[in-house]
Amino acid sequence: MLAIACPGQGSQTPGFLSPWLELPGVRDHLEQLSDRAGTDLVRHGTVSDEETIKDTAVAQPLIVAAGLVTARLILQDHLLTAATVIAGHSVGELTASAVAGALSEDDAVAFVRVRANAMAEAAAALPTGMSAVLGGDPDEVAALLAELGLTAANANGGGQIVAAGTLEQLAALAETPPAKARVIALKVAGAFHTAHMAPAVTALEALRPNLTPTDPLATLVSNYDGRPVATGEANLDSLIAQVSRPVRWDLCMESMQAMGVTGMVELSPAGTLTGLAKRGMRGTAALALKSPEDLDAARSFLEEHSRTSDLDPSLTSEGPQ
Catalytic residue list: 90, 193
Residues whose CB is less than 8 angstroms from the CB of residue 62 and which lie 6 or more positions away in sequence, other chains included? 12, 41, 44, 45, 53
Distance in angstroms (rounded) separating the CA atoms of residues 295 and 304: 14
Nearest of 15, 68, 62, 54 to residue 37 by alpha carbon: 62
Burial class of residue 23 in the structure, from the number of CB atoms within 10 Å of its CB (0-12 exposed, 13-18 middle, 19+ buried)? middle
Distance in angstroms (rounded) separating the CA atoms of residues 132 and 18: 30
Contact 307, 84 (CB under 8 A): no
Tell me the chain's radius of gyration from C-alpha atoms. Answer: 18
Contact 208, 115 (CB under 8 A): no
DSSP code of residue 287: E
SS3 (DSSP) at 128: strand
Output the furthest CA–CA distance in the chain (Å, rounded).
Answer: 54
Amino acid at site 214: T
Contact 15, 53 (CB under 8 A): no
The beta strand positions in the chain, using DSSP E, are: 2-6, 84-88, 128-135, 151-157, 160-166, 181-185, 219-221, 247-248, 263-266, 285-288
